[in-house]
Structure 1
């Protein structure tokens, strides 16, 4: 359902608005500058580039913006402490589960974060801060039944459940290879393990060939026809497409269903709440900042 992706993207935007520069640029800076300032970080034809040069460049390009984000984060922490707001491990895991769902599973999400240079610990830290902000601003935000119904009517097609299949696949170059792997599966070998070993699909092989849920029309016609014809738990015969030969294993199916307001209420409420949260955050931060003595020494940094 498109709204679910929209909802998850929106949560990611909230995190990025508040913390992305901190977790991206400045956490990287902290890693670079744990040693002597004069340490060489690169060279071109023997001409050295030092940590000091890199530091000055990053400071000039994003220093004040990054510091503002760190100050905002500190204010959020102090306000949460003042109001005795705590974030439980269960709440963190619930938020993580939504990211896993959007990115096609925990393993896929972890790999994407690794490529971006972000650790799971940093993701959790960002989630904690986002949850603190949500709890701090929750008393100021109200989502009415009328707003939810209006949103549902305006976006009704987003709430229609299309027929979907959740599947894994293994892609190989020849039909012979596909048949050999199918024989291994018949003998009880694990589909995900074989995908990691043999699949040519670099985007899914490390995740055991996991494709997640897809609708009709999302895949090539030959692949789609085979996948939707399989029963849950069944593995296809080799399926030829323009990419090679696939073995497809269906893990779950969802039947088409008409839009249902009652089933969608919680999702709609969260989406509208997060929209209002983004609008309320900056005014709230400006107001609450007046209660704190903030000193900025960045202009003296060298």
Structure 2
């Protein structure tokens, strides 16, 4: 799921894209090409809706907000160019990979893009802008060792490594099917391929049933107890829950571990940076808006 804090900006950018593209709406509505007239985006009972009407409506609805977002983005790009700031493809990919993991897999990620009407190219551009902005603001947000140590002392428990397992599962509706899958596994068939073939959990079936790492309290009791009782590489017998029957395979484990400051520094710095980010951004963008000559013609 795309973060709620980004929702308004994403919607504004989408509106701007629609304004620029204009006739894209006619494609989505599936109008016959030979019925389209120049400047007409829809026909309702024979009455025309024109591109100009669509444009005027969109501008009145959120035109200023969309334009403001585009102006801010342009300032960020101009300032990044001035400072010779570069964003690599690897940096963008890292952010997308984190998003996919947080959302719960590739399918959930693609569903989120579809829900917001966002293409991956548009998302990549948005991520790139955020990375530029982060690099621009880093010098404006100093974080001292003393601050980091104080934060660690006050929040040490939150950095402790809890016991976790990395597991995959195959979810089916009946015990009979679960036993059939278990039999195939015992004969050496691939867990990943069987998950793709049998699992009804569409959020991860095409990733071989991969659930990633999870701690206690994340899964239903029956599933959790079995997963934490298995050794690495072990596969369970069918486990019944309210969702159906699961075959669980444990891929890896992390033991509980008390946090230490040195290993937690990067995470603490990231947290403190985010806490200070909004205030620094508000000051920075206000200064830049006053610095640049900006003309608007809505």
TM category, shorter: 0.7 to 0.9
1:76-155 equivalences in 2 (<5 Å): 76-106=76-106, 108-155=108-155
SS, match of residue 228 in structure 1: helix
- 1:284 and 1:220 map into 2 onto residues whose CA distance is 46
Runs (5+) with no aligned partner, structure 1: 1-7
- 1:236 corresponds in structure 2 to 236
- 1:225 corresponds in structure 2 to 225
- 1:190 and 1:29 map into 2 onto residues whose CA distance is 49
Please state how far the C-alpha of 1:184 moved relative to its aligned partner: 2.5
The 8 Å contact of residues 99 and 109 in structure 1, kept in 2 or not, is answered as yes
After TM superposition, the score normalised by the length of structure 1 is 0.83
Runs (5+) with no aligned partner, structure 2: 27-37
- 2:76 and 2:142 map into 1 onto residues whose CA distance is 21
1:221-250 Cα shifts (integer Å, max 9, x gaps): 211111111122222111111221111111
- 1:291 corresponds in structure 2 to 291
Please state how far the C-alpha of 1:65 moved relative to its aligned partner: 0.8
CA 92–156 in structure 1, closer or farther in 2 if over 3 Å, else same: same
- 1:26 corresponds in structure 2 to 16
Q: CA RMSD in A?
A: 2.6
1:46-98 Cα shifts (integer Å, max 9, x gaps): 77766555443332121101100100111111111112111112222233332
After TM superposition, the score normalised by the length of structure 2 is 0.84
Please state how far the C-alpha of 1:178 moved relative to its aligned partner: 0.6
CA 128–138 in structure 1, closer or farther in 2 if over 3 Å, else same: same
Larger RCO of the pair (alpha carbons < 8 Å, separation 6+): 1
1:169-248 equivalences in 2 (<5 Å): 169-248=169-248
The 8 Å contact of residues 23 and 122 in structure 1, kept in 2 or not, is answered as no
1:106-158 Cα shifts (integer Å, max 9, x gaps): 55434432343222222221121111112212222101112212222332232
The 8 Å contact of residues 104 and 210 in structure 1, kept in 2 or not, is answered as no
1:75 aligns with 2:75: yes
- 2:257 corresponds in structure 1 to 257
